[in-house]
Amino acid sequence: MTAIAGALRELLVRYLDAWTPGAVHGARGATFAYGWAGAPDEATAEAALRVFAEFADRLRGRRLAVVLVGPSTAAVAARLDAVQAELGTPPELGVYPVEGPLDERLPAALKAAGAAGAPLLAFLDGAGPASLAAAGTGKPAEVLLVSGTGGQPAAPMPLTAHVDLVAGDGGARLVTFATTAGKGLEAFKNALWAVDEYAGVRYRDPRDPEGHLLDISLSPHPGPLRREILAHLGSAGARTVTQLREFTLTQTVYRASDTVRVLNALLAAGTVTRDPDRGRLGGDVVIALP
């Protein structure tokens, strides 16, 4: 197991812990798709299934489909069969392997699973436009996409976040999270910064021109966010705290809650101004460059 693979697995597990209770609440059930263009990570598939098994009591009468799509699915499916036998998972938790090229097979696999119009989360490694479009048919639809660094894939959802995972040896993967729901983006950011450190894996904001590496921490280093907020104020002009929180959430690797911490430091240093100049730093306070 590489350090990046371990960090990705924990990120997925932490997000599934937040996603699953709400996803299976509706009458139509939910779908989780794990797709890969190269080789699968069997341990990741198992970890996801074990998360779902923890919510077995909430599945009575509600469907949760686990769809596996990739060039070779036999080993992953066999491993998940063994886990289901071990845990005694309910019939509502079904595993559906579909073998073949990811972009070719995923759209049909999701259609067969009845994923459209119900909560859908796709964890995809090496997916192309056809897979991303298919993953966008859920309601809400969410994608956790792993790809090479150097470019930001276009996702069919309006809210996105991008972060590079960088290992100590210099290896890196780009993680793109895309969703149709603002709560999903907030939950992803919370999961992102709650991941345990894995053998020197650090984060990098693809939008940060300085490429600053960030240690994984519940209180991440504010330097890159400080630079990005100042650059945003310089290009967009004065913004309310609410607008800056939205900018942080949707345009950086940071959480919306990190915004106020940075703004307080900038105000204390006189780097930005506020209107009104006193009182609580509420959402309607306007922040500007001097």
CA 167, CA 172: separation in Å to the nearest integer? 6
Q: Are residues 102 and 198 in the same domain?
A: yes
Angle between helices 241-251 and 223-236 (to 10 degrees): 120
Own/partner pairs for 150-158, CB < 8 Å, 24+ apart? 150/174, 152/176, 152/206, 154/129, 156/132
The DSSP call for residue 203 is E
Measured CA to CA, the distance from residue 257 to residue 270 in angstroms comes to: 21
- Chosen domain end from 151, 186, 214: 214
Q: Examine the pLDDT at 127 and tell me if it is beyond 90.
A: yes
CATH number, position 128: 3.40.50
User: Tokens for 105?
Assistant: 């097979």
Specify whether 207 is located in the same domain as 269.
no
242 shares a domain with 196: no
| Tens-place pLDDT, residues 175-190 | 999 999 889 999 999 9
Q: Is the pLDDT of residue 239 over 60?
A: yes
pLDDT at 209: 82
The β-bridge partners of 122 are 33, 143
Q: Is the pLDDT of residue 136 over 90?
A: yes
CB 272, CB 290: distance < 8 Å: yes
Beta strand extents in 53-140 (DSSP E only) = 64-70, 93-99, 120-125
Alpha-helical (H) ranges within 88-153 are: 102-112, 129-135
pLDDT attached to residue 19: 97
Q: Are residues 14 and 41 in the same domain?
A: yes
* One domain for residues 112 and 58: yes
Average pLDDT, the chain: 94
Q: Are residues 188 and 247 in the same domain?
A: no
27 plus 57 within the same structural domain: yes
Domain boundary pick from 214, 234, 258: 214
The residue assigned the tokens 């923890």 is 54
pLDDT of residue 153: 80
Rounded Cα distance, 213 and 148, in Å: 17
Residues 53 and 166 in one domain: yes
Q: Which residue, of 214, 241, 271, is where some domain finishes? A: 214
| pLDDT grade for 199, boundaries at 50, 70 and 90 | low
Q: For the segment 139-193, what is each residue's pLDDT rounded down to a tens digit? A: 999 999 999 987 778 777 889 999 999 998 889 999 999 999 889 999 999 999 9
Query: Are 110 and 242 found together in one domain?
Result: no
187 and 236 in a common domain: no
Residues 48, 179: one domain? yes
Dihedral-angle region of residue 66 (phi above 0 means left; psi in -120 to 50 means alpha; beta otherwise): beta
Total domains in the chain come to 2
Three-state SS for 177?
strand
Indicate which CATH number applies to the domain containing 270: 1.10.10.10
Give yes or no: residues 137 and 68 share one domain.
yes
Give the residue numbers spanning the domain of 65: 3-214
| pLDDT at residue 288 greater than cutoff 90 | yes
How many CB atoms within 10 Å of residue 20? 22
Instruction: Give residue 157's pLDDT.
Output: 87
The residue with tokens 């909560």 is 119
Is residue 196 scored above 90 in pLDDT? no
1: pLDDT strictly greater than 70: no
Burial of 159 (C-beta count, 10 Å sphere; 0-12/13-18/19+):
buried
Tell me what pLDDT residue 166 has.
95
The model's pLDDT over 83-112, given as tens digits with 9 standing for 90+, comes to: 999 999 999 999 999 999 999 999 999 999
- pLDDT tens digit sequence for 247-283: 999 999 999 999 999 999 999 999 999 999 999 999 9
